[in-house]
Amino acid sequence: MEGYVYTVPMALADFVPVFLFGISAVLLIRDLKNKMTKGTFVCLIFGACVGFLAGFLKALYKLLIALGVGAFETLNTSFLPLQSTGLLLTGLAIVLMLALRKKAALMAPLTAGCIGMMVLGLGCMCAGLGVVSAKMKKKILIPVFILCFFCYMGMGYLAAKKDGSAASNWIEQGVNTLGQILLLLGVGTLHKAGLKEFSLKA
């Protein structure tokens, strides 16, 4: 970061609050596990890990500059989005723990909201890749991404309806694998066609 001078002791000192946060996060994760639903607990773990990673990468960025290795700006610019996301998820998990303690009925809208986010995200991803395919004159990939989307949706449906049998698990993972193959096929084809150098402004 231009205008800033980092020394090794200063950079190492930056790791102290990072690891203090990490210790606090581990204690919270251990103590709150039996008080949270599985989904809320995953939210807590993910949020804490992302928050820790944000601070760790920022401190590493300063240390690498102090050691004369170089300024890896990605480590620096990733701090704010990672930190904000991590702390938001961590706080949300704790709020949900308190809210769901006496209001199990909130799980239904919460689950519906998560499913809605998943459908929206996957839809945007596959639709966006379809548009990119059309711009690169690879329209044959559009049905590939459409099928990929339906495989993801099918996997979600099967995961919600499975009865715990080995057969249902094999079917679910088969659909999941097919979706990943289609995604890789589409993305791989775009990669070979020169997606990295292609201008989306065209």
pLDDT at 156: 74
pLDDT at 47: 92
Neighbours of 10 (CB within 10 A): 14
DSSP, collapsed to helix, strand or coil, labels residue 68 as coil
Average pLDDT over residues 139-145: 92
CA distance 96 to 41: 10
Report the candidate in 122, 118, 96 with the shortest Cα–Cα distance to residue 107.
Answer: 96
46-68 tens-digit pLDDT: 999 999 999 999 889 888 988 88
pLDDT at 2: 47
User: In 67-106, which residue ranges form alpha helices assigned H by DSSP?
Assistant: 73-77, 79-100
Average pLDDT over residues 110-130: 80
pLDDT at 108: 61
10-55 tens-digit pLDDT: 888 888 998 999 999 999 999 888 888 888 889 999 999 999 999 9
Residues 6+ apart with CB under 8 A from 20: none
pTM of the entire predicted model: 0.56
pLDDT at 96: 82
